[in-house]
Amino acid sequence: MPIDKSKIDWSLYLVTDPDMIPEGSDIYTHVREAIKGGCTVVQLREKKTDTGLFVEKAKKLLEITREYNVPLLINDRVDVVLASGADGIHVGQDDMDLKDVRRLLGPDAIIGISVGSIKEAKVGIAGRADYFGLGPIWDTNTKKLTKPLVGTMGARTVLSYIEQNAGYEIPCVAIGGIKDYNIQRLFFQSRTGTKSISGIAIVSAIMASTTPYDAAKSLLTSIKTPAPFI
Ligand code: 3NM
């Protein structure tokens, strides 16, 4: 059964990185454990993998994510989504135009875009993205950053813009440098009067962990614990 877009829980969004997985584990075991620990969305991100292997990994991961009713999204590659039957895609601002992505993948596909400013939010709104990846919130060693840091205040500015201008509900998942210890601050400092981030996206705090189940569980606990009024 395909995923119902309107019912996605965006709380804990895992972005994979094959190079971080500790020795002795593999992407399938690692992602399964992370889902059992509480990950609610998975994005397969492969920057160096040949297309054939990318599709094979996507198909195998889809079997796992389906077991738990968790959406599987593919980083950047429309062809890999189509070949694997994955639930959707995450694109950057410089990737294929969102309208073309939608035309190729159809109305049911989940389509997300990276957004770090009001200008980029306008692109996502015009293309009717289903969700935004909001970042980079903080600095990170995981990806060579080419855009300025958004910070919690920048996140709030973008959330506020979306709320007032999008005309439809866009869940926003924050990404970049997010760890257990800064989650509550992120939720608290970025929220507007009425709109909050819908969840957080994580690479290293789960992918580099030798205990992905525990890592995910602990992150989810921080997400679900209301931020104190500080
Ligand atoms: N995208 P970590 S930041 C994959 O800002 C990615 O769009 C970003 O890794 C963006 O959780 C990022 O290890 C890496 O900090 C996030």
The residue whose C-alpha atom lies closest to atom 16 belonging to ligand 1 is: 176
| pLDDT score, position 1 | 66
Is 134's C-beta closer than 6 angstroms to any atom of ligand 1? no
Is 124's C-beta closer than 6 angstroms to any atom of ligand 1? no
| pLDDT score, position 56 | 98
| pLDDT score, position 223 | 96
C-alpha 200 to ligand 1 mean position (Å): 10
| pLDDT score, position 228 | 67
Is 136's C-beta closer than 6 angstroms to any atom of ligand 1? yes
| pLDDT score, position 166 | 97
C-alpha 133 to ligand 1 mean position (Å): 9
Is 143's C-beta closer than 6 angstroms to any atom of ligand 1? yes
Structure tokens at 111: 């389509």
| pLDDT score, position 226 | 76
| pLDDT score, position 120 | 98
CA 74 to each of CA 83, 104, 146: distance values in angstroms, whole numbers, following the listed order: 11, 14, 21
- State the pTM of this model: 0.97
d(CA 130, CA 71): 13
Is 133's C-beta closer than 6 angstroms to any atom of ligand 1? yes
Ligand 1, pocket-test mutation among 175, 206, 222, most atoms within 8 A of CB? 175
- ipTM comes to 0.99
Find out whether 155 and 190 touch, Cβ atoms under 8 Å: yes
| pLDDT score, position 193 | 87
Residues 6 or more apart in contact with residue 8 via CB below 8 angstroms: 40, 41, 71, 110, 131, 171
d(CA 29, CA 64): 9
| pLDDT score, position 39 | 98
* Residues of the chain predicted below pLDDT 50: none
Find out whether 187 and 219 touch, Cβ atoms under 8 Å: no
| pLDDT score, position 180 | 96
Angle at 127 between CA 162 and CA 59, to 5 degrees: 110
| pLDDT score, position 92 | 97
Ligand 1, pocket-test mutation among 12, 15, 134, most atoms within 8 A of CB? 15
| pLDDT score, position 3 | 86
DSSP letter for 87, please. Answer: S
